[in-house]
């Protein structure tokens, strides 16, 4: 019976190692895709040149909100919003983070639209 237990443990360990390798390769692919999209993003922003940085950011915020609320509604996970509102300190932290991200993206979008892509990209690092 012990040999059967050890063989099950060995097969479980092999299965776990296989899962870990698959997860790692998926993570690598996701990382490469993110870097690729990030590299192509300034090209997309240049197509939006007639619009200003604030207009681009406002559209991004609005459509991201609509998409996220839609996904959360489909998943039935909208209750956390009420819990967030009842915790002012957490709400303040989330609001502050949102404002800082909005400032960051406004500056980045403005820099790209002003043909300062290299400087803007280096500013992230």
Percent of the chain with pLDDT strictly greater than 70: 92
Single pTM value for the model:
0.69
Average pLDDT over residues 75-97: 93
Concatenating the DSSP letter of every residue in 4-55 gives HHHHHHHHHHHHHHHHHHHHHHHHHHHHHHHHHHHHHHHHHHHHTTTS-HHH
Q: Which pLDDT band holds residue 125 (cuts at 50, 70, 90)?
A: low
Q: Identify the pLDDT of residue 48.
A: 87
Percent of the chain with pLDDT strictly greater than 90: 38
Q: Give the C-alpha distances (Å, rounded to integers) separating 15 from 8, 79, 83.
A: 10, 37, 39
Q: Give the C-alpha distances (Å, rounded to integers) separating 3 from 10, 12, 14, 79.
A: 10, 14, 16, 49
Please state, rounded to an integer, the average pLDDT across all residues of the chain.
86
Q: What is the CA radius of gyration of the chain?
A: 22
Contact 57, 104 (CB under 8 A): no
Q: Identify the pLDDT of residue 4.
A: 52
Q: Which residue has the higher pLDDT, 66 or 104?
A: 66
Q: Which residue has the higher pLDDT, 122 or 86?
A: 86
């Amino acid at each position: 019976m012990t040999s059967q237990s050890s063989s099950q443990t060995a097969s479980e360990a092999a299965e776990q190692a296989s899962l870990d390798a698959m997860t790692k390769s998926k993570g690598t692919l996701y990382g490469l895709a993110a870097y690729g999209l990030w590299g192509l993003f300034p090209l997309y922003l240049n197509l939006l040149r007639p619009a200003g940085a604030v207009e681009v950011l406002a559209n991004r915020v609005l459509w991201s909100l609509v998409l996220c609320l839609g996904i959360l509604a489909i998943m039935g996970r909208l209750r956390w919003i009420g819990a967030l509102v009842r915790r002012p300190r957490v709400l303040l932290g989330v609001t502050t983070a949102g404002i800082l991200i909005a400032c960051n993206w406004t500056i980045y979008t403005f820099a790209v639209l002003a043909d300062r892509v290299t400087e803007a990209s280096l500013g992230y690092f």
